[in-house]
Amino acid sequence: MEGKQISFGTTGFEELLEQLRDAGEPQDIAWLAERYIEILRAQAQTEEQE
């Protein structure tokens, strides 16, 4: 896996939007940051396995 493929701000942003939409209510930005870290981690793990 190449680390350069995971880029903060680009990778997983669409998934982040989906999570925010699913939440329905306004959320704290720290909550959003945590979700984003989890999305990035999942992507990194997937690419590592590939």
Partner 1 sequence: MTTQLPFLGTPAERALAEQIHEVLRLQARFYAKEAPIRQSLKNIISYFAARRGGDETSVTQEIVAALNANQDIFAQAITDDDEFVITTSVHGKYVPLAFDRAHSLANRMYEPENPLPVDDISVVFTTNRPTVPTIEPVYISDYWLHGATSSETMSIDDMPDIEIVSDAPIPDDIIIGSQPKVKTVNPRDAMRINLPQGISIDLAQPTPNIMQQHGDAIISALRGTIEKDSLKRIAVFGNQVALERDVRTFSKNEIRQITDYIENEVSNPVTDSDILQNVIRVSNRAVDFERQRFALNFRLLKDLEFVGVNGANLWATRKLLDKIGANKRIKAADMGALVLHLEEGFDDSVNVNSVESIQAKGSVSHTLTYFEWEYGILPLTKALAAVLPEPVINRQSAAVVTFDVPQANYSFVINVRFPAGARGGWLQGFDEFFQSMLVPGALITISRTNQPNVINISYGEAEDRIESLLVVEEGKKKSKFIFAERSFNCIVDDDVLPTVSNVGRIRRIKFFELSERKNLEALVEAIFVGFGEKAGTKQEPLYQIEFEQLFNLLTIYRSVSRNYLLHILHEHAECRLVNSAAGLWECKVNVAVPERGNTSFGYDDEDEE
Binding mask 1-40 for partner 1 (x = CB under 8 A): xxxx-xxxx---x---x--xx--xxxxxxx-xxx-xxx-x
Quote the CA–CA distance of 24 and 40 in Å, as a whole number: 22
Smallest separation, CB 46 to partner 1 (Å): 11
According to the binding rule CB under 8 A, does residue 46 interact with partner 1? no
Rounded Cα distance between 19 and 16, Å, is 5
Q: Is 34 left (phi over 0), alpha (psi -120 to 50) or beta?
A: alpha
Residues that bind partner 1 (CB under 8 A): 1-4, 6-9, 13, 17, 20-21, 24-30, 32-34, 36-38, 40-41, 44-45, 47-48
